[in-house]
């Protein structure tokens, strides 16, 4: 079978305010999602969809794409989502689901689903490349969101991204000289991004706030040392805490941590970023967080 791969992502700056156009710095992860595909010319107009999670089959569905009906499945709700996405693919593509061919499509998500690294965005990117369509449009009509995660998946690179007044992004190199001092801690849960954005939307935003985060992003990208990076991350976290009216993750879980602690993505779940200190592994494990990753463990 032919193969397409898109990496996952971690959003380092401008969570929440990204939806209003603040500049985002995001980086690709080593793990992502694969799409394997073959096509048969047999006049059956069928899609055989098999979805794997860390090489374990979890979803099987057969779809008739002439009538857009699910013929067989082991998970009706998940299959309905896949049908919706593939129907959107058909509407956007000039090459897929236009004849009577049968398609064998297999996905494999390489990271745990509660890591929040982009199971949906990597799918949009893979299908976009496979069907020769714009993955941002596919994502917009299928899911919504700022689209920064699709940009990372598509470009397979660190990016600076802004969605307003129009989508603009550029590939950047983010390889800080202090990266071996940085670590990621998983908070043992996945946060609902839509819920977090809904809370953000209930607050009155301003152009000034958006500009402040865009400037912070530029400064963080160009940080020369760990001290400067740590100070900027602390400012970023506190400013957003004040705006949202939510305690920082450090206030909530790590009050006596001697380093900065920065939320990544929607607050309350997924990963945080911090730096090494003393016996940091013992400290975080004592707080109940044993999934600790170095920069090189996760980031390309």
Structure tokens that stand for 255 in this block: 């009050």
d(CA 127, CA 79): 16
Q: What is the pTM of this model?
A: 0.94
Torsion of CA 260, 238, 146, 150, to 10 degrees: 0
Average pLDDT over residues 71-99: 97
User: What is the tens place of the pLDDT at every residue in 263-276?
Assistant: 998 786 689 999 99
Q: Which phi and psi angles does 150 have, rounded to 5°?
A: -65, -40
Mean pLDDT of the chain: 94
Looking at the predicted structure, is the pLDDT value of residue 190 above 70? no
Query: What pLDDT shows up at residue 230?
Result: 98
282 C-beta neighbours (distance < 10 Å), count: 9
Q: Are strands 102-109 and 24-40 parallel, antiparallel or unpaired?
A: antiparallel
d(CA 158, CA 267): 21
Looking at the predicted structure, is the pLDDT value of residue 110 above 70? yes
Average pLDDT over residues 165-191: 92
pLDDT band, very low/low/confident/very high, at 238 (cuts 50, 70, 90) = very high
273 C-beta neighbours (distance < 10 Å), count: 21
Average pLDDT over residues 36-52: 95
Helices 119-131 and 76-92: crossing angle in degrees, nearest 10, is 40
Domains and CATH numbers, the chain: 2-171 (3.30.230.10), 179-298 (3.30.70.890)
DSSP code string of 205-273:
--HHHHHHHHHHHHHHHT--SHHHHHHHHHHHHHHHHHHHT---HHHHH-TT-SS-EEE-SSTTSSEEE
Buried b (16+ CB within 10 A) or exposed e, 215-246: ebbeebbebeebeebbebbbebbeebbebbeb
Average pLDDT over residues 199-217: 88
Structure tokens that stand for 257 in this block: 């941590």
Looking at the predicted structure, is the pLDDT value of residue 225 above 90? yes
Q: CB burial class (10 A; 0-12, 13-18, 19+) of residue 276?
A: middle
> Above pLDDT 70, what percent of the chain?
97
């Amino acid at each position: 079978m032919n193969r397409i791969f898109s990496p996952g992502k971690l959003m380092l700056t401008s969570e929440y305010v990204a939806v209003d156009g603040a500049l985002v710095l995001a980086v690709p992860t080593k793990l992502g999602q694969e799409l394997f595909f073959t096509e048969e010319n047999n006049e059956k107009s069928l899609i055989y969809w098999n979805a794997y999670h860390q090489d374990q089959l979890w979803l099987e569905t057969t779809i008739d794409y002439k009538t857009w009906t699910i013929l067989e499945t082991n998970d009706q709700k998940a299959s309905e989502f896949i049908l919706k996405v593939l129907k959107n693919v058909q509407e956007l593509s000039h090459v897929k689901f236009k004849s009577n061919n049968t398609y064998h499509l297999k996905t494999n998500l390489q990271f745990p689903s509660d890591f929040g690294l982009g199971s949906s965005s990597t799918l949009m990117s893979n299908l976009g490349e496979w069907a020769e369509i714009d993955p941002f449009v596919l994502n917009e009509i299928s899911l919504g969101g700022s689209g920064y995660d699709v940009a990372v998946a598509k470009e397979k690179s660190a990016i600076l991204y802004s969605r307003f007044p129009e989508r603009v992004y550029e590939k950047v190199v983010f390889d800080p000289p202090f990266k071996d001092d940085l670590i990621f801690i998983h908070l043992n849960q996945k946060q609902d991004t839509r819920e977090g954005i809904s809370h953000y939307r209930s607050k009155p935003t301003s152009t000034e706030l958006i500009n402040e985060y865009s400037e912070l992003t530029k400064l963080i990208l160009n940080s020369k040392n760990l001290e400067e990076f740590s100070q900027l991350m602390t400012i970023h976290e506190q400013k957003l805490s004040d705006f949202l009216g939510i305690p920082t993750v450090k206030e909530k879980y790590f009050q006596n941590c001697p380093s900065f602690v920065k939320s990544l993505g929607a607050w309350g779940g997924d990963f945080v970023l911090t730096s090494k200190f003393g016996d940091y592994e013992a400290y975080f494990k004592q707080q109940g967080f044993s999934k600790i990753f170095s920069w090189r463990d996760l980031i390309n």
